[in-house]
Chain A
Amino acid sequence: MNQELKNSPTEQSEPLLKIENLKKYFPIKGGGYFKGNKKVVKAVDGVSFEIYRGETLGLVGESGCGKSTLGRNILRLQEPTEGRVFFKENDILAYRSHEMRKLRRQMQIIYQDPFSSLNPRFTVGEIIGEMFDIHGVAKGAEKEKKVKEMIELVGLDPSRYHSYPHEFSGGQRQRVGIARALALNPEFVVADEPVSALDVSVQSQVINLLMKLKEELGLTMLFIAHGLNVVRHISDRVGVMYLGRIVELSETDNIFDYPAHPYTAALLSTVPEADPRLKKERIVLKGEVPSPANSQAAAISEPDVL
Chain B
Amino acid sequence: MDKILEIDNLVTAYQGKEGFVHAVDGVSFDLNRGETVCIVGESGSGKSVTSMSIMRLVEFENGTIKEGTIKFNGEDLAQKSNEEMRKIRGSKISMIFQEPLTALNPVFTIGKQITEAILFHHKVGKKEAYRRAEELVRMVGISDPQARLKQYPHELSGGMRQRVMIAIALASEPELLIADEPTTALDVTIEAQILELLRSLRRDRNMSIMLITHDIGVAAEMADRIIIMYAGKIMEISKTQDLFDQPLHPYSKGLLDSVPRMDGQRGVPLNSIKGSIPRLNEVPKGCRFSPRCPYATEKCHAEMPPLEARGDRQVACWHVDRLLQDESLKNEIKGGGMDESGVKELSY
Interface of A with B (CB < 8 Å)?
A: 62-63, 169-172, 199-205, 207-208, 211-212, 226, 228-230, 232-234, 252-253, 256, 266-267, 269-279, 282, 284-289, 306
Chain B residues 205-260 with CB under 8 Å of chain A are 214-218, 220-221, 240-241, 244, 254-256, 258-260
Q: Does B272 contact A (CB under 8 A)?
A: yes
Contact of B266 among A204, A232, A266 (CB under 8 A): A232
Contact residues in A for B83 (Cβ distance below 8 Å): none
Check: B311 CB closer than 8 A to any chain A CB: no
Q: Evaluate contact between B272 and A205: CB separation under 8 angstroms.
A: yes
**What's the nearest-Cβ distance from chain B to residue A21, in Å?**
27
Q: For residue A201, which residues in chain B have a CB less than 8 angstroms away from its CB?
A: 42, 254-255, 258, 272-273, 276
B329 at the interface (CB under 8 A from A): no
Q: Assuming A229-B259, A287-B143, is B217 touching A274 (CB within 8 A)? A: yes
Q: Which of B159, B188, B190, B196 counts the most chain A CB atoms within 10 A?
A: B188
- Given A199-B42, A200-B255, check contact A284 B193 (CB 8 Å): yes
User: How many inter-chain residue pairs (CB < 8 Å) link A and B?
Assistant: 139
Given B159, B259, B273, B276, which contacts A274 in the complex, CB threshold below 8 Å? Answer: B259
Given contacts A201-B42, A286-B193, 7 further A-B contacts (CB under 8 A): A63-B186, A207-B270, A232-B266, A256-B262, A273-B220, A275-B220, A277-B241
Sample of 12 A–B contacts (CB below 8 Å): A62-B189, A62-B190, A63-B186, A200-B258, A204-B259, A205-B272, A253-B266, A272-B188, A272-B217, A275-B244, A279-B220, A306-B196
Once the chains bind, are A267 and B188 in contact (CB under 8 Å)? yes
Interchain CB contact under 8 A, A270 and B270: no
B190 to chain A, nearest CB (A): 6
B42 cross-chain contacts in A, Cβ below 8 A: 199-202
Whether A278 contacts B262 by the Cβ 8 Å rule is: yes
Q: Contact check: which of A63, A203, A228, A288 meets B262 at CB < 8 Å?
A: A228
Which of chain B's residues 105-129 have a Cβ closer than 8 Å to chain A? none
B271 contacts A by Cβ under 8 Å: yes
Q: Would B221 and A273 count as touching, CB distance under 8 A? A: yes
Q: A232 touching B262 by the CB < 8 A rule?
A: yes
* CA distance in complex: A229, B216 (Å): 12
A271 contacts B188, CB within 8 Å?
Answer: yes
Q: Which residues on A sit within 8 Å (CB–CB) of B195?
A: 272
- Known pairs A208-B270, A229-B260, A273-B221; A199 contacts B214 (CB<8 A): yes
Residues of B near A284 (CB, < 8 A) are 189, 192-193, 196
Most B Cβ at <10 Å: residue of A171, A207, A266, A284: A284
Cross-chain contact of A211 among B158, B267, B273, B277 (Cβ < 8 A) = B267
Cβ–Cβ contact B258 & A172, under 8 A: no
Interface 0/1 of B137-160, CB less than 8 Å to A = 000010100000000000001111
CB pair B189–A285 under 8 Å, yes or no, is yes
Report chain B residues within 8 Å CB of A170.
43
Q: Is the CB of B262 within 8 A of A271?
A: yes
Kindly state the separation between the CA atoms of A223 and B241 in the bound complex, as whole angstroms.
Answer: 32
B193 touches A200 (CB 8 A): no
Contact digits for B182-200, partner A, Cβ 8 Å, 1 yes 0 no: 0000111111110110000
Is there a chain A Cβ closer than 8 Å to B261's Cβ?
Answer: yes
B263 interface hit (Cβ, 8 Å):
yes
Q: Which of B277-300 contact A (CB under 8 A)?
A: 277
Shortest C-beta distance, A13 to chain B (Å), equals: 17
A233 touches B272 (CB 8 A): no
Given A201-B254, A233-B267, answer yes or no on A288-B217 (Cβ-Cβ < 8 Å): no
Q: If A172-B276, A226-B187, A275-B244 touch, does A208 touch B216 (CB 8 Å cutoff)?
A: no
Docked-complex contact A275 and B192, CB < 8 angstroms: no
Q: Is A272 a contact partner of B254 (Cβ separation < 8 A)?
A: no
A278: chain B residues at CB < 8 Å are 262-263
Nearest chain A CB to B165's CB is how many angstroms away? 16
A211 — which chain B residues lie within 8 A by C-beta?
A: 267, 269
Residue of B whose beta carbon sits closest to that of A282: B192
Q: How far is the CA of A73 from the CA of B195 in the complex (A)?
A: 35
Please determine whether A229 and B258 come into contact, CB atoms closer than 8 angstroms: no
Which residue in chain B gives the minimum CB-CB distance to A212?
Answer: B269
- Find out whether the CB atom of B270 lies under 8 angstroms from the CB atom of A204: yes
| A267 to B196 alpha-carbon distance, docked (Å) | 15
Q: Are B264 and A233 interface neighbours, CB within 8 A?
A: yes
For B217, give the chain A residue with the smallest CB separation.
A272
